[in-house]
Structure 1
Amino acid sequence: MLNISGLNSGYVIDHIPAGLSMSIYKYLHLSRYDNQIAIIKNAKSSKMGKKDIIKIEGVPKELNLPMLSIFGDSITVNVIVDGVIKDKLHPTLPETVKDIFTCKNPRCITSVERGLPHIFKLTDKSNITYRCIYCEQAYKMKK
């Protein structure tokens, strides 16, 4: 049986859809922190079948935790202080995302103007679909 110790302080990002923990790791830029980080892939889950979990010791600054919902609406974030869960966050989908994903349309202005920000608006909440504000190209998150 796998045993990952508990945290004294930090975050536990739980209920990540199986296979998406490395995408979240990259999105949060966790490689630039010196904190202890545990990534658990394909953990058994009674609700989801399989899930991923990320445990982050300490409290890195500038984590964009509210944006985690773009990876799945099941994601929760437990805030651990002195070994106890002090708060449980349920991130919700943002209406607008900036520079999170890039437009794949080769004719989009963002392909020509390299410094232009990639901005997407939420157009379909149930299917987690965002559209580029410049060309309407859809970007659909995997569920």
Structure 2
Amino acid sequence: MLTINSIKNGIVIDHIKSGQGIKIFNYLGLDKADYSVALIMNVESNKLGRKDIIKIENNLELDFTVLGFLDPNITIDKIQNETIIGKVKLRLPDKVENVVNCNNPRCITSIERNIQHTFYLVDEKTGEYRCKYCDEIYKVSDIQIK
């Protein structure tokens, strides 16, 4: 049995869809961290069947918008003295800026380099976003993060 100790002070990113933990780990740049970090993959879960967990022994400022965009089912536990002092439940954000690029070659963002890539949520159930400039629709599951 694998044992991962609790953290004293920091955060736990929990309920990550199985297999997606590495994407969040890399996005947050945790491979370059100089503090303790644990990425636990394919953990059994009553709620999800299987899930990933990231434990970070540090109090990071996280962009909840981006994390909610990557996986809206994530919960973030804030830990102090080995006790959960706060819990944040994420959801799909209404607007996402400069997290993903529009791949439509006719979109103004493919020509003009200084324009922010902006997407608006159009369907929360299917996770569909629409480009602000060209109206191209993207599903969260199909989008590649910058």
Identify whether the pair has TM-score above 0.5, normalized to the shorter chain.
Answer: yes
Distance 1:66 1:106 in 2: 26
| 1:43 and 2:47 correspond | no
Say if 1:21 and 1:54, in contact at 8 Å, map to a contact too. yes
Aligned to 1:93: 92
Q: Render the CA deviation track for 1:59-102: whole Å, top value 9, x for unaligned.
A: 12x32134322223321001000110001110222211101111
Aligned to 1:126: 125
Say if 1:122 and 1:129, in contact at 8 Å, map to a contact too. yes
Aligned-residue CA RMSD (Å): 1.6
Say if 1:38 and 1:56, in contact at 8 Å, map to a contact too. yes
SS in 2 for 1:142: helix
Alpha-carbon distance, 1:32 to partner: 4.5
Alpha-carbon distance, 1:25 to partner: 1.7
State the identity as a percent.
42
Aligned to 2:13: 13
Aligned to 1:77: 76
**AA aligned opposite 1:11:** I
Distance 2:104 2:88 in 1: 34
Alpha-carbon distance, 1:136 to partner: 1.0
Distance 1:29 1:63 in 2: 12
| Equivalent runs, 1:20-35 vs 2, <5 Å | 20-35=20-35
Distance 1:123 1:27 in 2: 24
Give the 4+ runs in structure 1 shifted more than 6 A.
none
SS in 1 for 2:25: helix
Q: Render the CA deviation track for 1:92-137: whole Å, top value 9, x for unaligned.
A: 2221110111111111111111221111001111111111101111
Aligned to 1:140: 139
Say if 1:16 and 1:71, in contact at 8 Å, map to a contact too. no
Say if 2:39 and 2:53, in contact at 8 Å, map to a contact too. yes
Say if 1:67 and 1:92, in contact at 8 Å, map to a contact too. no
* Structure 2: runs of 5 or more not aligned: none
